[in-house]
Amino acid sequence: MDSLSVFFLAEREQSADEVMARLTAFISGAKHTLDFAVYDMRFSDPLRAKLAATLREKAQAGVEIRFCYDADKPPQPNLAAGQDPAPAGTGAFVQSLGYPWRRIAGMKLMHSKYIVRDRQSVWTGSTNMTDDAFTLMENNIVEISSQASASYYAQNFEELWEKQNFEHTGDIHTESVPLTFSNQSANVRVMFSPGCGLEIDSEIARRARAAQRRVRICSLLINSGTLIGELGNLLRRGRVAVDGIYDRTQMEQVYLQWQEVPQNRWKIGALQEIIARARLIGKNSTPYTPAGRHNFMHNKVLVIDDTVITGSYNFSRSAQFNAENILFIESAPLADAYSAYIDHLVKKYH
């Protein structure tokens, strides 16, 4: 039976070696193909050596390895035109590994972080391929063993590989796939932006609106106007528990951006009211700098009743136009596992 597993990361609670060991174990299972779609990939020499050795072993065994990565943006991106910055160094790192690669262009970000193995299994979640992501950030890694799910990711990867631009990709009709988590039945559906960006935003809002018991947030950002509206409605009605954690430092930067755009200013008061009424915990992270170390609360997670929503997709308008992947996983034990993780982070950063 197809299955799913999850691994949770928190600042200074696991070593980089421990996470790299999971990654190389996943890679080592490949028999035919490994396709990487990466946004940020820059490991220190010790981690790079472990990754490179595992990839070399697979290549020597005949495994075909390919990389798509977010095209290095200019040092000063055209923010007025909607262009986002991207971490410098990913291209040089990927190219240094010595396998076929494609720079994926686009005005926004090729923000996915997934690996498709043999078109049978997928490594995905919120975790970038960096030392900081492995050791200093809160992240989650989802491994899916399912040919049906993996085929959707493979289709998305081929679009990126062939077009070398993520715009006009991701318009893939996907359906929910049955699998198991913790020996109990579950269902998972993946969706991709930008092709399904508006549909993803609507689906998140629909599920929040239909919540019966709980909406738990564990998210770097909360800046989708649609989601902010639904959370506000839930709190005003008062019949569903809303709580969780976000990255306070990174959201303060968003407030400054909203202040500059008249039609976004309403979000500032609306979100501040949600944070106060739901008593959301804010992690104080290190402000972003291109060359600094980063300890963001980097998850993109919603737990709505017995459904987990997670992936690379921030709950933002930008995510609709990025290349992203997001999972809707219906599983009571998985929702409880994520809920326990959220409890841990709330207690840690309270």
Within 10 Å of residue 23's Cβ, how many Cβ atoms?
Answer: 19
Residue 201: predicted pLDDT: 97
Lowest mean pLDDT among 63-77, 130-144, 244-258: 63-77
Residue 228: predicted pLDDT: 98
Lowest mean pLDDT among 38-52, 76-90, 161-175: 76-90
Does the pLDDT of residue 273 top 80, yes or no?
yes
In whole angstroms, give the CA distance from residue 63 to residue 56: 9
Residue 86: predicted pLDDT: 67
List, in order, residues 6 or more apart from 339 with CB less than 8 Å away: 214, 216, 303
> Sign of the C-alpha dihedral, residues 309, 195, 315, 242?
negative
pLDDT tens-digit series, residues 178-210: 999 999 999 999 999 999 999 999 999 999 999
List, in order, residues 6 or more apart from 289 with CB less than 8 Å away: none
Q: What residue segments make up the domains of the chain, in order of their start?
A: 3-349
- Kindly state the DSSP code that residue 105 receives in the 8-state scheme: B
In whole angstroms, give the CA distance from residue 114 to residue 87: 17
Residue 1: predicted pLDDT: 75
φ, ψ for residue 224, nearest 5 deg: -80, 120
Residue with the two structure tokens 């990255």: 247
Residue 143: predicted pLDDT: 98
Mean pLDDT of the chain: 96
Query: Residue range 122-147: average pLDDT?
Result: 98
Residue 79: predicted pLDDT: 60
CATH number (2.30.40.10, 3.40.30.10, 3.30.870.10, 3.40.50.300) of 3-349 reads 3.30.870.10
Amino acid at position 22, single letter: R
Q: Supply 40's token pair.
A: 């940020």
In whole angstroms, give the CA distance from residue 221 to residue 143: 24
Which segments of the chain does DSSP mark as H helices, in order? Answer: 16-28, 45-60, 90-97, 131-135, 147-163, 197-209, 225-237, 248-259, 265-278, 317-321, 332-349
Does the pLDDT of residue 122 top 90, yes or no?
yes
Can you give the pTM of this predicted structure?
A: 0.96
pLDDT tens-digit series, residues 292-319: 899 999 999 999 999 999 999 999 999 9
Residue 291: predicted pLDDT: 79
Query: Residue range 129-146: average pLDDT?
Result: 98
Residue with the two structure tokens 């709505």: 304
Q: What is the DSSP string of 165-178?
A: B-TT--------EE
